[in-house]
Chains A and B, each alone.
Chain A
Amino acid sequence: MSVTTLTRSLTWPGIRPWLGTLARLGLAAVWLFAGGAKVGDLGGSGRAVNAYQVMPFEVAKVIGAALPFVEIALGVLLVVGLATRAAAAVSSLLLLVFIAGISSAWARGLSIDCGCFGSGGQLAAGQSPSYAPEIARDIGFLVLAAFLLVWPRTRLSVDRWLESTT
């Protein structure tokens, strides 16, 4: 690699699309793990949503059954890099809802597991909830989503391939 190409690829416009790829694949992994952990127990997923006590049980069941599939679909979109900005927007929205839910459970003094990656529901006696780390983790994921929302053009993506065909 010559000195000129090296310096060009090390500039912000050169690095950014690759950072975007990392963010995209990282966020994709989050959604695929989160969805995959819950998809085998849709009833349990509904109960985990219900444990937040923010909606009627019947509604929580619908959300709980739908959510793992939405998460997996989001993960697939992000892995291939299709409609990255839209996927990042929906990701940000979901993460904000999750953060709000966990915060409100914390504020109301509920003693639940967030159910983010399966399980969920009330904690056994002697276990204490870990709301702060759960929220911090979700904020980390939100940073990835925000990066892609602002800079959706990433390397190794279908979006980029579509762009090059016109």
Chain B
Amino acid sequence: MSKRHERKSAAKVVRKQLAAERRRKRTMWVSIAAVAVLVIAGLIGWGVYQSQRSNSGPLVAPASATTTTGETVGTGPVQIQIYEDFICPFCKQFEDNAGPAINNLVSQGKVTVTYNTVAFLDPASTTQYSTRSAAAAACAADGGKFKPYHDALYAQQPAEGTAGLSDSQLISIGTGLGLDQGSFSQCVNSGRYEPWVGSVTDAAAKAGVTGTPTVKVNNQVIPNPTADTVVAAVNAA
């Protein structure tokens, strides 16, 4: 092989090495940029979530509720905590099955029932019916009609995947129960208790409630809540 030929092939090797080095560097920077994009995407998600929260207005609790727990019915010594969502079909089943028995326990003065009306299933309607209906029930609580309103919402439960009842339908159910047209409709239309529904929902999740209906008697979860199991747990408490 001639000297010239050797120099040529050596130069070729060097060029190849330089090109490989450039490629390696570029791949590295592209990878770093891609990971940075992923991190930024995550931060954007957190930011969007935060702004959704803060846009929803001040947190005020309705009558007979706290900022993190639902409306209470009755004054008995045994505590029943019910976590339910107005669009959840299993909650309606539970109400149909156990509602009358729980009403009896309340009227016998045995229990205090807290109805934590959570909005786990907002994506199950196209209009966030879970939040809107729970907020409307809170408006009814201010008018002293929480329980009848709650029962009326289950009697007219919309199917999952639909738009649910409209705000005006929610209002007419309330006025049908004798709630004041002016203040009730104002409360529903302004979404006064929507931040409160979010707060009760968060508190429920934080307490380890992951689905609806969840029923606790004196803080013990009832595995398969029915009229029989709830009454038995109350009598045993």
Q: Which residues of chain A have a CB within 8 Å of any CB of chain B?
A: 39-44, 46-47, 50-51, 53, 57, 61-62, 65-70, 72-74, 77, 82-83, 85-87, 90, 112, 118-119, 121-125, 159, 162-163, 166
Contacts and interface: CB of A to CB of B under 8 A. Distances in A.
Contact of A69 (B33, B44, B214): B44
Given A44-B120, A112-B210, A162-B30, A70 B45 contact: yes
Contacts of B201: 43, 47
A90 B206 contact: no
A43 B34 contact: no
14 contacts: A40-B123, A43-B52, A43-B201, A44-B122, A46-B49, A66-B41, A69-B42, A69-B48, A70-B45, A77-B34, A86-B35, A90-B35, A118-B123, A124-B211
A166 B50 CA distance: 44
Contact of A70 (B30, B38, B211): B38
Interface string B66-106: 00000000000000000000001010000000000000000
B225 to A, nearest CB: 8
B34 A86 contact: yes
A86 B105 CA distance: 61
Contacts of B123: 40-41, 44, 118-119
A77 to B, nearest CB: 6
Interface stretch (B18-26, B136-144, B148-156, B168-176): B18-26
- Residue from A69, A90, A112 whose CB has the most chain B CB atoms within 10 Å: A69
A76 to B, nearest CB: 9
Interface in B171-229: 198, 201-202, 205-206, 208-211, 214, 224-225
A40 B52 CA distance: 11
Given A90-B35, A125-B224, A47 B43 contact: no
Contact of B43 (A50, A66, A83, A162): A66
A29 B31 CA distance: 21
Given A43-B201, A166-B19, A122 B210 contact: yes
Contacts of A72: 41
A47 B23 contact: no
B120 A47 contact: yes
Given A57-B205, A70-B45, A121 B211 contact: yes
A154 B7 CA distance: 36
B196 to A, nearest CB: 14
Contact of A74 (B38, B52, B224): B38
A116 B26 CA distance: 34
A68 B90 contact: no
B120 A69 contact: no
Contacts of A85: 27, 31
B31 A68 contact: no
A124 B49 contact: no
Nearest to A58: B206
B198 A43 contact: yes
Contact of B122 (A41, A68, A82): A41
Interface string B28-68: 00110111011001111110111010000000000000000
Nearest to A125: B224
Given A42-B48, A66-B45, A166-B23, 4 more contacts: A42-B45, A46-B205, A69-B45, A86-B35
